[in-house]
């Protein structure tokens, strides 16, 4: 009798064949609204258009589309800042990235650096709602964006997704950072030269309290030469809680960051359970 062995084969084939194939980490879409061209601006209704160095705008809160519990604060809107981050209380025009472990406000920063979209060759920030793995999501795109002072010889493409996981508990959600290209890490005013410099980008998030356990920075934050495409911690060739290079997933459950297994991990766990359950029959079939 060899039927149980055939069942095992089908189980493991289903595991590997169910693993998705990706051409890149960034998820298409989430671009129904585009910002204007500016240096240190924040999206404002109609777009933040400011040609001056350090040009800002008043900032308009943007609806997420669902509530998220971020360190105990229930949020349903945020400010989208040109310099690679979103904030919840007020806009952030700061261009030199500060340590997120010592942040003074709630911030989620997929790539906190001195981004400048004024050059016509640079892309602009865009955002919108969509879905990720069948769940409602809100996304912000920084695609083909340049750096200060109006440079576009090197560009970065990255994305922030906030994914609704309310089905697992009120306010539960995932933060996802997606990276397809990272060619610069600092602007000219951050002691950068040619997009590289010592006051380099920071990646992570913070509750703004400076308390232990209420912030997270990826290794390499603030260190020149680490996050760029050929760097030690190149963002496009590493991953976190994901099976896709360039994708970093942070699951927030009950208001705090919790490592949550990905769907493919659950499938592997199920396959392992099936193996244990069917093992006696497989052994018996060999007798």
DSSP state of 22: -
Listed residue (128, 148, 153) closest to 35, CA to CA: 128
Give per-residue burial for 202-218: e unless 16+ CB within 10 Å, then b.
bbbbbbbeeeeebbbbb
Q: Which residues are paired to 249 by β-bridges?
A: 176
What pLDDT is attached to residue 105? Answer: 94
Phi and psi for 275 in degrees, rounded to 5? -60, -45
Q: What distance in Å separates the CA atoms of residue 271 and residue 263, rounded to the nearest whole number?
A: 12
Res 261: pLDDT = 47
Three-state DSSP at 17 gives helix
Alpha carbon distances (Å) from 222 to 84, 90, 96, 219: 14, 23, 10, 9
Residues of the chain with confidence (pLDDT) below 50: 1-23, 261-287
Alpha helix locations (H) across the chain?
3-17, 263-285
Phi and psi at residue 146, to the nearest 5°: -100, -170
Cis peptide bond upstream of 127, omega within 30: no
HEC per residue, 231-281: CCCCCCCCCECCCCCCEEEEEEECCEEECCCCHHHHHHHHHHHHHHHHHHH
pLDDT of residue 85: 98
| pLDDT at 279 (0 to 100) | 44
What are the boundaries of each domain within the chain? 30-261
Entry pTM: 0.84
In this predicted structure, what is the pLDDT of residue 145? 98
At 202 the pLDDT is 98
1 closest CA partner among 287, 217, 227: 287
Note the maximum CA span of the chain: 81
């Amino acid at each position: 009798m060899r039927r149980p062995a055939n069942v095992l084969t089908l189980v493991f084939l289903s595991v590997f064949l169910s693993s998705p194939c990706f051409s890149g980490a960034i998820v298409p879409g989430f671009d129904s609204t585009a910002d204007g061209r500016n240096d240190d601006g924040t999206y404002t209704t109609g777009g933040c258009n400011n040609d001056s160095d350090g040009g800002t705008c008043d900032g308009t809160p943007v609806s997420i589309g669902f509530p998220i519990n971020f360190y105990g604060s229930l949020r349903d809107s945020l400010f989208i800042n040109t310099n690679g981050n979103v904030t919840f209380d007020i806009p952030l025009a700061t261009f030199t990235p500060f340590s997120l472990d010592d942040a003074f406000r709630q911030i989620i920063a997929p790539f906190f650096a001195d981004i400048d979209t004024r050059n016509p060759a640079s892309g602009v920030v865009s955002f919108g709602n969509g879905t990720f793995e069948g769940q409602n999501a809100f996304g912000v795109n920084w695609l083909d964006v340049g750096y200060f002072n109006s440079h576009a010889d090197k560009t970065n493409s990255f994305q922030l997704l906030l994914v609704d996981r309310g089905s697992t508990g009120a306010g539960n959600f995932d933060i996802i950072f997606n990276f397809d290209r990272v060619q610069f890490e600092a602007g000219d005013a951050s002691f950068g030269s040619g997009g590289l410099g010592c006051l380099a980008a920071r990646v992570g998030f913070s509750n703004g309290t400076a308390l232990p356990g209420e912030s997270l920075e990826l290794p390499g934050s603030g260190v020149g030469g680490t996050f760029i495409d050929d760097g030690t911690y190149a963002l496009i060739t590493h991953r976190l809680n994901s099976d896709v290079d360039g994708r970093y997933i942070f699951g927030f459950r009950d208001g705090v960051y919790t490592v949550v297994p990905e769907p493919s991990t659950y499938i592997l766990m199920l396959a392992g359970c099936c193996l244990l359950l069917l093992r006696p029959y497989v052994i018996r079939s060999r007798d």
